[in-house]
Structure 1
Amino acid sequence: MLDIKWIRDNPAALDAALAKRGAAPQAQTLIELDEARRSHVGALQALQERRNLASKDIGKAMAAKDQEKAEALKAEVATLKDELQAGEARERELDEALKYALSVLPNIPLDEVPVGADEGGNVELRKVGDKPAFDFKPKEHYELGEALGMMDFERAAKMSGARFTILTGALARLERALGQFMLDLHTAEHGYTEVNPPLMVNDGAAYGTDKLPKFGDDLFRTTDGRWLIPTAEVPLTYLAAGEILSEDELPRRYVAQTACFRSEAGSAGRDTRGMLRQHQFIKVELVSVTTPDTSLDEHERMTASAENVLKRLGLPFRTVVLCTGDMGFGAQKTYDIEVWLPGQDTYREISSCSVCGDFQARRMNARCRKPGDKATRFVHTLNGSGVAVGRALIAVMENYQNADGSITVPEALRPYMGGLTKIEKAI
């Protein structure tokens, strides 16, 4: 969430930033909402002051035995009480209107973010690894998985509908191995603390991490009003909610492997074959909570941690910086890591690493303070996939496929596979 005081002081800067994102200007509307709220609060304060004064005058009139004046003042106080109650209700309405308008406003892109309307404006930063050379036409992951008899979409659809998958045997173990490998790498070498968080959160956590109210349609809700997490970013980031952290404790770095749940409301017709876009999937998530001074360096570090997963797995990838029109709602800047998929003959996103500045921290009141100081400031938050486990499974299958349909197990995963070197169809 953006600061209304900053918006009042920088209306042109806000509208210029929104224009970069392809959004309409909002500064004037927000300032008018804030002015209406301020004016109303001022009027309420005047009413309260008049009520307090009239209440004192009742006592004076009673002491002077001026019953007529006392009764008139009592009637005035009763009227003022009714006006105050109605005014307080209106104040809540104005507060909610401003809060909602601010809560659906996207973050301000950093100056270095390239301006563009969509993914066509993204800028490639680097390519890492050589694409595999096959002497046969490479297959897509779902062709390989079904032929192995270890990837079943038909039975998944019978029990759950579209966009679900059943993995069995060595492919199920391979997915589990990928997650374990990532967790070990991030905790042992990259300095992240492993967390096993809840998979359901309340409104406060979803709002504090900018998923509500704007993205409610993308989430699944339980019958008792909780939300299934779309990513572990939500519970991991919300660990800092309401806290005042000492800056010498920062950064805090968290990693979790969880199931994630998304309705994919806006993706009708996209990636309907295979495992690329599922309602339920496994992801290893990275979250950092930093001081405002160190968040950009942490962004580079987090991206490097995610890239290292793919390097260790021997998967070719490229890293791009997203343009303003393709960047997520809460991000100031985002790097996407795209893994090469031979079956599709293209790069596909496998990790998105974003720095959010104080955008989420304002919503969840997460602050920090230098030792010895009284003043506080909002922390900065970052999140990134480290990486999407299901998509890593797809990438391993397609890049390590053999002509006979078997899958060679990458060396980094063999200790997690009981020494298995190749996944083959059971005879």
Structure 2
Amino acid sequence: MDERLLAPYATRPSESRGRRHPEPVSAHRSPFQRDRDRIIHASAFRRLKHKTQVFVEHEGDYYRTRLTHSIEVAQIARTIARHFRLNEDLAEAVALAHDLGHTPFGHTGEDALSEAMAPYGGFDHNAQALRIVTRLECHYAEFDGLNLTHETLEGIAKHNGPLLAGPEVPKETLPAPFVEALEGLDLGLHAQASAEAQIAALADDIAYVNHDIHDGLRAGLFSEQEAEGLPVLGGCFAVVDDLYPGLAAGRRRHEALRRVFGAMVDDAIAESARRVAALAPGSAAEVIAASGPLFCFSAEMAGQIAAIKRFLFARMYRHWRVKRMRAKAARVVAELFDIFTSEPGLMPEDWSAACLAQGSEAGRARVVADYIAGMTDRFALKEHRVLTDPATRA
């Protein structure tokens, strides 16, 4: 990437703070391109294809997975980053890595694992993503993790905003999973994220709201008539009906939802441009030092998205069909945790050895949580069946 084409406040590869373990500079790729490539080739990234968002994998192969979601987030992030002449490679790397720490069964699995880990410091998927890229991926000869650049690690840690209220607040006040995951890292946790990481967070919101509407409609959890009563959606359906009277139902839905998607992206770009113009940052450091984020939705759009999320929570995430599967998934995770903490030798040898090598109960529980969090939906179901059903062979 020619840095002369970047905006003054973009993150420049030549100014990177480098990696925890120094490596020779690539002749063909920028540091952030290498980060992106390492994330794509990571085992944890491949497993995202069998980790679902709302539905469990066997409920249908059409619904979004964590992998398809991550790809959609990366696409949106690159689009917005390009508009502002930001570093697309860094925005893409953060977008692709942001969900690496998710458990099987979406937020249901995380809630169950968080409850199981409550006596041992808790569990958080954002902290888990940092554990994965700094420790748990063990493929390289000279280091654990992926040895990502400081900027990519900072983006993963802070893509949802600062973790500390100020520079005087010690990071030890954070939940235990973050304290452990951030050990040895100095990521300026009280400051704003880079422009590229802020864009990745915006892209995450745009992607998951749109695809949850799409998946919910496809699953029949709510009707198009109900969706048309929501902010943004109603106007988009009306535009499609004016342009294409009598359009087939599937095409009508697609045309409306692509306009919803576009409306959110357009609003994010317009509001962010207004904020950037007001601050006129001359460097990436000024973005990080700002009193608030520069890349946001307008207050009106943020309110409309909040209303859509409330609808999805009530009509989709709390639908009786989804609740049934959530209950089963939560039991699977909780029972796997109980089995493995009671009998670590039932885990594969490398995991069992790592668990037994820990000097505390909390340390052993964290290894069990790492093992379960890395499972796909199908593998968690298989492990549970093997361990609880006497008729199933290992």
Relative to the length of structure 2, the TM-score reads 0.21
More helix by share: 2
More strand by share: 1
